[in-house]
Amino acid sequence: MTNQPPWWKKLLLNLLSSVIFYTTIPLPYVNGLEFDKVARFALLVGVLIGGILGLCDTGMSYLGIPILTRSALVISLGIGITGGLHLDGAMDTADGLAVGDPKRRLEVMADSATGAFGAMAAIAILLLKTTALTEVETHRWLILMATCGWGRWGQQLAIACYPYLKPTGKGAIHKQAIQSYKDVLPGLLLLMALSGLFFLIDSQQKILAIAMVIAGSAIATITGAWFNHKLGGHTGDTYGAVVEWTEALFLCVLTVF
């Protein structure tokens, strides 16, 4: 009979596996890593990425770097940390949806070559994120954490609610890890708590704290549902597209407040 590791060690190993899977952060090799449950920890990894981006943004602010330049650097750093994983999925998804024949869409999405529509989608996403983030002048670190968190929650919701369209692939292990809406509830509670933290920091921003929850959950839900409507399900590429478009649209909505 093999000895099972304590729950806290298993939790730490799963989180470490998720960080390795979703980011390019250099980490030492550890025995016992398993990647079949990485999707369950995607939201925590997103909040971690947002925290790193917020820390870098704060540091650049103290150095006197203008807000537009900071925003562009932060968005670029986000691509670097993820290795462009989600942005690549958004580009492949755009190329696939541009095909008139629905039967060929998955085939086009599987092609590693980037088409014109994929390039245009990437440009649109980066422009929206950079310009919207430039309009956010205060509590940017918390906004970045919430943005990255809601993007990953949208991914988890899409995994839980819609069928996976391929028999194999990286996205297949995501579907095995998240099979019920119950698996996305902890992440939702965490993001609501994050919005509550915003209210505690600045009590005058009560409306914004509520708007973050409403906008984040609505955009994440609608984005996943839209891709499902267009394709009849999801793939690893559309999971990435949900992350990117949720983040971009979430930041755009927050500029209203």
Q: How many Å apart are CA 154 and CA 50, to the nearest integer?
A: 15
54: CB partners within 8 A, 6+ apart: 140, 141, 142, 143, 144, 145
The answer to whether 52 touches 81, Cβ cutoff 8 Å, is yes
Q: What is the pLDDT of residue 229?
A: 95
* pLDDT confidence of residue 156: 97
- At 102 the pLDDT is 78
Angstrom distance (rounded) from CA 6 to CA 19: 20
**Could you read off the pLDDT of 80-90 as tens digits, one per residue?**
999 999 999 99
Please report, rounded to a whole number, the percentage of residues in the chain having pLDDT higher than 90.
67
The arithmetic mean of pLDDT across residues 174-200, rounded, is 89
pLDDT value of residue 1: 44
- Determine the angle formed by the axes of helices 236-254 and 170-177, rounding to 10 degrees: 70
Rounded mean pLDDT, 16-45: 89
- 164: which DSSP letter? B
Q: In degrees rounded to 5, what are phi and psi of residue 65?
A: -75, 130
